[in-house]
């Protein structure tokens, strides 16, 4: 499942209450490393369909949400499980790297 994060998303009643782990991918239209990483994110979404929720956030359209999550660089990934941030990393990461991070929390 993939969702786009909009400014009006209620963090506490959405992402943080999900029964599935949530991967938030923060990027922007001008973020070239993020464009490359998006390919890996799409593959991860298909590989872990119904095991995780993938949320894609354009920080230019969801600046308040990015600030709430402490995101100040792109690309950035935050992974939550049971409403708690369990891992985070910045910069372009491979599909293999993302898979290892997800497998640790499943």
pTM for the full predicted model: 0.89
Report pLDDT digits (tens) over 22-62: 999 999 999 999 999 999 999 999 999 999 988 888 999 88
CB neighbourhood size of 28 (10 A) = 16
| Residue 17: predicted pLDDT | 81
Domains of the chain: 2-100 (3.40.30.10)
Identity of the highest mean pLDDT range in 14-28, 65-79, 85-99: 85-99
Phi, psi for residue 73 in degrees, rounded to 5: -150, 155
Strand stretches in 11-96, DSSP E: 22-27, 53-58, 76-81, 84-90
């Amino acid at each position: 499942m993939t969702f786009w994060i909009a400014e009006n998303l209620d963090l506490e009643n959405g992402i943080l209450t999900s029964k599935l782990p949530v991967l938030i991918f923060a990027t922007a239209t001008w973020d070239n490393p993020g464009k490359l990483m998006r390919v890996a994110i799409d593959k991860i979404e298909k590989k872990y369909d119904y095991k995780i929720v993938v949320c894609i956030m354009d920080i230019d359209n969801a600046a308040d949400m990015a600030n709430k999550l402490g995101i100040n660089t792109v690309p950035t990934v935050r992974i939550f499980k049971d409403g708690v941030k369990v891992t985070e990393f910045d910069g372009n990461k491979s599909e293999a790297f993302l898979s290892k991070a997800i497998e640790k929390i499943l």
